[in-house]
Every structure is written in C-alpha cells, then in structure tokens.
Amino acid sequence: MKKHLFVILVATVCLWARAAPLVVGIADMCSTTNAVNVQSTYVAAVAAAGNTPLVLPAETDRELVARMLAPLDALLLCGGEDVEPRRYGAKPSPRLGKVNLRRDAWEFLLLDEAVKRRLPVFGICRGCQVINVYFGGTLWQDLPSERPGEIAHRSKELHPVRIVQGSRLAKSLRAEKLMVNTSHHQAVKDLAPGFRAVAFAPDGVVEAIESDTLSVAGVQFHPERLLVQDGRAEFRELFAKPVGRSPLDRRK
C-alpha cells in the first residue's frame, strides 16, 4: 500500500512540475532613462503561452543582475535599435540607425550572467543580433546598401522563410516553411562561432540562429506580433518552450 502511495505521489509531483509555468524574464528595452519599458506584445506572447512574464529593469550592478536572473527559467531579449558597430570591430556606416549604448551594455551584462547560469535565452530581431555579436559574430549594418536583394526587409509585407530540417526551430514550429513579418534593416553577417543559421529568407538573409552547445537562439522576425496581433497560434510554442527546449530542461 505504501509503495502504491509513493508511486502516486511521485506521479503527481511530476505532473505538477510539467504543468508549472516557466518564469520568463523580459529585458528592459531602455526606451527612456527614467522608466522601465517593454512593448506589451512581448508580455502578452509569454502569457498567451501559459508562462509568467517578468520585466527586468536595466541595472549595472552585477550582483543585482545575478539576483534578478536567479528565479528565471528563460530570458527574452526584444527588438529595437541598432547595435553599436564597435561591439563587433566595425566602423559605423553612414546608414547606421539609432544606437542605445546603455541598452547594449545592459544586454551584454545579462548575457554574461545567463551564460554563467546556462539559462535559456531567446532573442527577437535586435535580440538575435545582440546574441550573434555577443558570441563573436558581426552584422550587416544596413541591408539595402550593403547587401541589396529581392526582399524589402523593412516593410509591412510578409515573406517566406525556409527553416533547416531538424533544427530546434523547425521542431518547435513543426514546419520548414513559414510566412513571417519583416521589420529590420540589419541582420547577421558573419555567424558567431558555435552557432548555426537555421532559417533563411529567399534572398539568403539569415532569419534565425541557434547555439550548438547552449540553450541560446534568436529569430530575426517578430513572432510575438504574429502570435498576439495576427492570431498565428503556431508561434505560441516559441514562448511556451523558449528556444525549443523542454520546460523541464531548466529544472534538471
């Protein structure tokens, strides 16, 4: 009888753990110097996936950042301004957009701590670019002038992407071809060591990257808008299990 009760107890605990929502930290976008700010679509996407969004205020104190990341199951880096080119050893292009040095420093500090903790990280648009630069890659500073192609990457039009078979992204989305939105003029140029490009636009521009060894990935498009604003339920999984990992991976 005791054995049966023990089995039931273990099964109940396992079911509870599997159903427990993840705590996903969303990094302050540093839009102002006197307020903490993230766009509501990121918060809504995490919540729509059944997880708990937690907005993280930009800080420079490493000990405080470590305490903020301690309760997290995953970290989300959002879209926004261009990354400062000196971060990847390049001179600013005349067509470089607005940069935010405070935000660059904040997100690099977050990645320092996330890597140390082996915390899953998911980057969207700028977030994908920040991940690539942090790990040693470079960016096209302005696609239209540096890498012109058939796709207008900063527009209101959707375009197809090809997703690499067997990638974590393909497994999460259960698809190898999708129509996605496009709202960027920068993109991955030289891929960071230890990363793979796992999605491409028709003109060859990289649309997603994944680490070979870490639970770190990024997409160039905006799945939070596709999920929340367009009702595209297939993108829910990216926020339910960030970077295609099991919700239990963080707890193992």
The residue-averaged pLDDT of 223-245 equals 90
The residue-averaged pLDDT of 107-136 equals 97
User: Residue 212: is its pLDDT beyond 80?
Assistant: yes
Q: Tokens in use for 180?
A: 């996605």
The residue-averaged pLDDT of 123-136 equals 98
The residue-averaged pLDDT of 134-140 equals 98
DSSP letter, residue 75: E
Binned at pLDDT 50, 70 and 90, residue 241 comes out as: confident
Task: Decide the pairing of beta strands 121-124 and 177-180.
Answer: unpaired
User: Residue 239: is its pLDDT beyond 60?
Assistant: yes
pLDDT tens-digit readout, 60-97: 999 999 999 999 999 999 999 999 999 999 999 999 99
The Cα 207–Cα 134 span in angstroms is 17
Sequence spans of domains, the chain: 2-251
User: Residue 144: is its pLDDT beyond 50?
Assistant: yes
User: Residue 11: is its pLDDT beyond 50?
Assistant: no
Q: Which fold has domain 2-251?
A: Rossmann fold (3.40.50)
Residues identified as active-site:
125, 222, 224
The residue-averaged pLDDT of 127-143 equals 98
The Cα 91–Cα 162 span in angstroms is 32
Helix (H, G, I), strand (E, B) or coil at 23: strand
Output phi, psi for 4, to 5 deg: -65, -40
